[in-house]
Structure formats: structure tokens, C-alpha cells
Amino acid sequence: MARCVRHRVLAPFFLAPLAALCLTSCGFLGRPERPIWRTQAENACFARGQVTLSDSIVAAPEIDGPGICGMTRPLHVSALDNGAIAVDKVLTIDCPMIPALEAWLNAIVEPDAQARFGQRVAMVDVFGAYSCRPIDNIAGDRLSEHAFGNAVDVAGFTLADGRKIDFVHDWKNAGTQEAAFLHEAHAGACQYFTTVLGPGADVFHYNHIHLDLANHGRTDTGPRRICKPTPAPDLLPAPPPSDGLPPAPDIDEPLDIAHLSAPAAAAGPPAQNASTGLGDGLGDEPDVALPPAPIGETDPSPPILPAGVDKSPTSSIRRP
């Protein structure tokens, strides 16, 4: 009888820490965490001096949520290439997207515009960047790279003389300098971004190219890249030499390794915390360890397209 009483007396001392542990665990497990490689990539970009703050690139407060949306050190960008190339609306993006965009513009877009039109590119016309939403705005799907400021949708370009060249009007005009310019821009982007989706990739990208730096893992020649539609062979660069790693399996769908615990987490405006400032960041290389294998998109719902657009994957709006 005494033994039973002793157990009753001691039980609370064992149960109390266990209950606290359960509550603490529930607190940690109640909200999914943003993959650490994203913050590491942001910090490494600053540590390497790949971006210099200016009137056109301004540090913004940390964006933390809803859900795992956001960036540790977001930037507001109104122009690129030291202010030489404007952006038609202010972009909220992470640090690594800026050197990738500038490298693409300087190596591919600008030289081709000069060669074909005798004009420099004065402005990049964009649909946007940061947006806490699922891929293709399909409710309940995985989060888009836009949810981490790691993507930009480019609608076209404005030349120095005011002439506009855009994907919705000019991509399909075969045999024109405008179409050739846009196809070169799309193919060249595949060298600088890990995901490039343009007209012909699916119906959601009929009027722009989507550019992001998603972590899709690696192939035997470097980061796994998704480039759709596949550029013509004469537009593709020579393949890099193999680094000896085993080949990666074929992947046909655009992927994002971030997962949303519930569709409701993607709704509502992003909450913002006080700025964390711009310190020295982490070391040289982001952690290349990957979380569990990503899941591809399945059976997306058809989009709501503007009037006058057919529903084939390469649809476009004719000029008036």
C-alpha cells in the first residue's frame, strides 16, 4: 500500500517535465521552419560583397511569415547595374537574385539589344517578385520561390528609345528581330538561374519568363537546372565538363523544396519585423545539405486567361 502511495507522490515529478517537454515540442513543431540554406545564401551574398546598397538597392526589414514565407535580409530594388537599367516597379527580392539578374543582363540581354536594335536596354518590365503564395497561385499547392523573394517574373524590356519588346506580343513572331531577341534572353537566362520558365513551358507562363534560384540539388555538372521550353540547340551554351558526380535523375516539373503546412498559411499580407541590419553574414559557402526530396507539381488547374488568348501552351495576345 505504501508503495502505491509513493508512486502517486512521485508521479507528478516525472509527469511535469514530460508535459513541459511536450508543450515545448508542440511549440517548435506547430510552425514549420524556413529551410536554413535560404538564410545562408542571403548572408553569403552580403559577405562576398556581391551587392552594394545604394539609392536603387535599399535594405528592407526582415519578412517573417505568414508561415515560412519571407526573407531574413530583403532588399527593395528599383534599378540594376549601378542604376543604369531601371525596373518598372520596385522589387522585393533576396540578395542572390541581384547578381544573377545583373550578370544575365550584362552578358546576354544588353549585348543582344545593341546588336539587333542599336539600343541599350533602359528598363526591365516585370510583373513582380516577392509574394507569399503557392506555385501558379493554386490554392493548397507548395510555395513558389516568389514566397522567398527568390524569383522574378520578367514581362519584357524597354529600349533607350522607348520601344517596348515583350513576351506576350513578340515571342511568337517568328522571323523577327524581336522574337530572336526574346528567345536569346530566355536561353541565356538558363545559364544564370536554376529555374527558367517561359512561353511554351505551360499556360501559366504565356506572357513572361519566370526566373529563380531554387535549390533543386545537383547534377554531375553542377546545380540542377530547369529550363522550359528547351531552347533551340544553337541557343544553348556548350555543356560544362563533368565534375565526376553521378548523374541526377531526370526531373520534368518545376520544384520547390519549401513546403507549406496548410493552405491558410499562404493567405494575408506578410508580417514584417524590425530590420536586422547588415552584418558580416556567414562564411563563404551556403550549406549544400538538402532537406527531404521535393515533390513535383501534379495536375494543375487551368488558369484564368485574358480575353483573346487561346489555351495552347504557347498562346499569346496579338498586337491591336
The Cα–Cα gap between 119 and 35 comes to 42
C-alpha cell at 171: 515571342
pLDDT tier for residue 95 given thresholds of 50, 70 and 90: very high
Q: Which range has the worst mean pLDDT, 45-59, 161-175, 205-219, 301-315?
A: 301-315
Task: Say whether 210 sits in a helix, a strand or coil.
Answer: strand
Please, where are the H alpha helices in the chain?
2-29, 36-47, 97-104, 110-117, 167-170, 177-189
Classify residue 226 as left (phi > 0), alpha (psi -120 to 50) or beta: beta
Residue 31 has pLDDT above 50, yes or no: yes
pLDDT at residue 122 tops 90: yes
Q: Among positive and negative, which fits the CA dihedral 161, 121, 185, 146?
A: negative
> For the residues 35-55, what does the mean pLDDT come to?
93
Residue 149's alpha-carbon distances to 21, 42, 64, in angstroms, are 35, 11, 12
**Packed helices 110-117 and 177-189: angle between N→C axes, nearest 10 degrees:** 170
Confidence grade of residue 204 (pLDDT, cut at 50, 70, 90): confident
Residue 75 pairs with which residues in a beta bridge?
59, 93
CA–CA separation, 87 and 78 (whole Å):
5
Helices (H) and strands (E) in the chain, counts: 6, 13
Express each pLDDT in 276-306 by its tens digit.
Answer: 333 333 333 333 332 232 222 233 333 444 4
Q: Is 39 helix (H, G, I), strand (E, B) or coil?
A: helix
Lowest-pLDDT range of 9-18, 64-73, 91-100, 121-130: 9-18
When the pLDDT of each residue in the chain is averaged and rounded to a whole number, the result is: 74
> By C-alpha distance, which of 284, 212, 215, 120 is closest to 201?
212
Which tens digits make up the pLDDT trace of 250-279? 544 444 433 333 333 333 333 333 333 333
Q: Cα separations (Å) of 300 from 59, 204, 229?
A: 36, 10, 18
Give me the amino acid identity at 300.
Answer: P
CA separation for the pair 177, 284 (Å, rounded): 42
C-alpha cell recorded at residue 90? 520596385
> Is the pLDDT higher at 142 or at 214?
214
Mean pLDDT within 44-72: 93
